[in-house]
Amino acid sequence: MQALIEVILPVFLVIGFGYLAVWRKLFSANGVDGLMKFTQNFAIPCLLFRAISSLDLSQSFDVGLLASFYTGATLCFLLGICGARYIFGRNWEDAIAIGFCCLFSNSVLLGLPITERAYGDGALAGNYAIIALHSPFCYAVGITCMEVVRNRGRSPFDTGRRVITAMFRNALVIGIALGFVVNLGGINLPGVLIDAVDLMVRAALPAALFGLGGVLVRYRPEGDMRTILYVCGISLMVHPLIVWTIGSAIDLPTDAFRSAVLTSAMAPGINAYVFANMYGRAQRVAASAVLLATALTILTAWFWLGVLG
């Protein structure tokens, strides 16, 4: 109960404040759009840039950590596709969009603050290692599969060009890439620039959580409920169970193990809907899964925190 009250509820109260403010028309829908653009295109890329640029890569990029998380993510992507196609009878394009919902955990807006509140700032190195590869990996997998299905017969070169172009238009990927450039290049940034970036960073998570609440007002779980529940089950229980199993088998260090399991246990992120909307496929399932799974994360995150001890 203490974990629920002290760790999880403060995060979801901020989301709830955003939801309530927009629902009661105290904050406009246009304001939410602007806030989300600010956080996703500027503040969170700054947070990721700052984290990656100062991360001890030799210590943080544990192969076991990344293997356990991304093996689980990939298997859940495949489970999502196969379930959508063969259980629920969706076409291949819809199936890939639904699989992407099972692939893309909300590693930043939910995973970071919950891990931080549970275990402190010092436990976030594993989270940042996962996040550094998260958007590039997920978009590379999702876009590649969708482009292959949509452009049957098109040359591999053309498909590859489309994938790379789509990825490097993503502000999160750009922030991560610049962080690696500074880190690996040993570049010393001016103090005044670091201070400015840190100001942006401090605004990132609270503003993004408030904005997430405002965005969720638009989504209603309508129809396709079995498919939506399937996505929620894969995202909130199957993915962390796979990560737990692999992490236990390879004896991951405690901090890395916690980061991997908690991050994998988060609801699908808004990017799951962005991906579905980008291709015009399974948008209602994606939007409703984001809404319902985010609400269910209050309970499932409590469960996984209890399991982790």
pLDDT in tens, 206-254: 888 888 788 878 766 666 899 999 999 999 999 999 999 999 999 999 9
Is residue 98 within 8 A of residue 84, CB to CB? The reply is yes
Query: How far, in Å, CA of 268 to CA of 199, rounded?
Result: 28
Note the pLDDT of residue 275.
Answer: 84
- How many distinct structural domains can be found in the chain? 1
Partners of residue 105 on adjacent β-strands:
268
Which residues fall within 8 angstroms of residue 271, CB to CB, at 6 or more apart? 104, 135, 138
- In this model, does residue 266 exceed pLDDT 90? yes
- In this model, does residue 92 exceed pLDDT 70? yes
Is residue 307 within 8 A of residue 248, CB to CB? The reply is no
- In this model, does residue 125 exceed pLDDT 60? yes
Note the pLDDT of residue 154.
Answer: 66
Phi and psi for 247 in degrees, rounded to 5?
A: -60, -40
Which CATH number do you get for residue 163? 1.20.1530.20
Integer angstrom CA distances of residue 307 from 121, 227, 261, 302, 304:
21, 27, 10, 9, 5
Is residue 261 within 8 A of residue 252, CB to CB? The reply is no
Stronger pLDDT, 278 or 70, i.e. the higher one: 70
pLDDT band at 77 (very low <50, low <70, confident <90, very high): very high
Partners of residue 268 on adjacent β-strands:
105
* Mean pLDDT across the chain: 86
Is residue 134 within 8 A of residue 268, CB to CB? The reply is no
How much of the chain, in percent, has pLDDT values that exceed 70?
A: 92
What range defines the domain where residue 194 resides?
2-308
Instruction: Using alpha carbons, select from 24, 12, 18 the residue that is nearest to residue 211.
Output: 18
| Average pLDDT estimate for 168-190 | 85
Tell me which DSSP letter residue 28 carries.
-
Note the pLDDT of residue 96.
Answer: 96
pLDDT band at 6 (very low <50, low <70, confident <90, very high): low
pLDDT band at 105 (very low <50, low <70, confident <90, very high): very high
Note the pLDDT of residue 270.
Answer: 77
